[in-house]
Homo-oligomer: A and B are copies of this chain.
Amino acid sequence: MYHFTALVTLLAIAFYLFVTINVSRVRSRTGIKVPATSGHPDFERAFRIQANTLEWMPIFLPALWLFAVYIGDAAAAGLGAVWVIGRVIYFVGYSKAAAKRGPGFMIQGVAAIALWAGALGAVVLRLV
């Protein structure tokens, strides 16, 4: 069983859900009516934060679980927690200004690519 990886998955989903609900909150505050997705810089940044987090979910989640299965639960969960922390920093920075989105993005990117590379290495080792 992969209890720690399951826990990190559920935390990642919860943060992603928060980022998604935040779009609705900023939509109300800025007065951008559904179904428009532009018209106020605060709304557009909130929308891009959510879109970018969504865009990385199909990289992060499969890499996380293949890493967990091929390498181990605790290591996968540790890197997965780094990904979530990077996403929180990205959210806080990008919410303030587009120019402040870099550090959090780097952290989550490195964590996701480490999960991907570790899983790839382990799979290839089993196949050769």
Interface residues of A (CB under 8 A from B): 1, 3-4, 6-7, 9-10, 13-14, 16-17, 20, 33-38, 41, 44-45, 47-48, 50, 54-55, 57-59, 61-63, 66, 69-70, 98, 101, 116, 119-120, 123-124, 126-127
Contacts and interface: CB of A to CB of B under 8 A. Distances in A.
B44 A54 contact: no
A45 B45 CA distance: 21
A63 B10 contact: yes
Given A35-B44, A44-B35, A13 B58 contact: yes
A91 B77 CA distance: 33
A61 B58 contact: yes
Contacts of A41: 35
